[in-house]
Structure 1
Amino acid sequence: MRILAPKKMIIAAFVATFFYTSSSAQTGNINIYQDEKIPKLLEIKTEMSKENQIGDRYKIQLFYGDNNEASEVYKEYTSQFEYPAIIDYETPNYKVYVGNFRNRLEADRALLAIKEAFPGAFIPKPKRK
């Protein structure tokens, strides 16, 4: 058996110590504590997003006026196009809105197709909620 020189023994000791400390440092545990309100807040945000209550969304307004005419416009629109439409009551008129577009570009593209059948359609400025 061969005995190492003192310099080589010191270097070997440093190398062995380095590998031991670096390998033991990787075995630590991480504990993450989450506030119990976070899942409830995420659920509320999801519901609000589905009901279009948050964020700036673009819609196309087809009509405003009385209820009977709004219903007729709604029926005519749904027979021709696939974008979702709603009738919304804002005192004293009923309004027919189309879509829930994330950006102005999507709304403009849809408006080009819709304007052929509904020339009075336009994109109102979105309301901040």
Structure 2
Amino acid sequence: MKLFNRPLKQFLSICFLLITGIFYGQNGHVTINQASELERLLEIKKNMNLTDTATDRYKIQIFSGNRSGALEAIALFNETFSEWPAIDVYETPNYKVWVGSFRSRLEADRALDKIKETFNDAFRFRPKKVEKPQDKN
């Protein structure tokens, strides 16, 4: 003798699955506690990444020549573009103006397209590594 017929077994199985899903379902609430200084530190880190002189980053050179020309190029660049920092670098016998600190070649190329509208001779490069002498202690 059968206690339950087939449709009743299917109905009870589905009800059982739904009820267990309700009882074992997870209702979560996530609270993130962070130090108030974290936002300030993240901003400092972001600024360090923009002005980083690491050699594994790409830069764009917008000028090479005398010192007064470099200062004029920096002033014009800062008026036109505010999203990338510009620095002057002295490499004998010229002053050079380098812009940005880009992590990828693609990022540098996108910036170069915008910069070339104002500075036609601009180009992307990766600075050479400078070996630092090690202490002989």
Q: TM-score range by the shorter chain?
A: 0.5 to 0.7
Measure the CA separation in 2 of the matches of 1:96 and 1:53: 13
Structure 2 match to 1:68: 68
Tell me the residue number matched to 1:122: 123
Report the CA distance shift for 1:77/1:54 in structure 2 as closer, same or farther (over 3 A). closer
Which structure's CA Rg is the greater one?
1
Residue identity matched to 2:76: E
Is the alpha carbon distance of 1:97 and 1:53 closer, same or farther for their aligned partners in structure 2, counting shifts above 3 Å?
A: closer
Pair 67,56 (structure 1): closer, same or farther in 2 beyond 3 Å:
same
Residue in 2 that maps onto 1:110: 111
Q: Deviations over 1:78-97 (max 9, x none)?
A: 00002111011111100000
Deviations 1:35-93 (A, max 9, x none): xxxxxxxxxxx9xx766354411000000000001100110000000211101111110
Q: Report the Cα distance in structure 2 between the residues aligned to 1:70 and 1:54, rounded to whole angstroms.
A: 22
Aligned-pair identity (%): 51
Where in structure 2 are the equivalents of 1:1-129 lying within 5 Å?
52-82=52-82, 83-129=84-130
Q: Which runs of 5+ in 2 are unaligned?
A: 1-44, 131-137
Equivalent residue letter for 1:91 = T
Q: SS of the counterpart of 2:125?
A: coil
Whether contact under 8 Å (2:56, 2:126) holds in the other structure is no
User: TM-score of the superposition, structure 2-length normalised?
Assistant: 0.54
CA RMSD of superposed structures (Å): 1.9
**AA partner of residue 104 (structure 1):** R
Q: What is the count of residue pairs matched by the alignment?
A: 82
> Structure 1: which 5+ runs fail to align?
1-45
Q: TM-score, normalised by structure 1?
A: 0.58
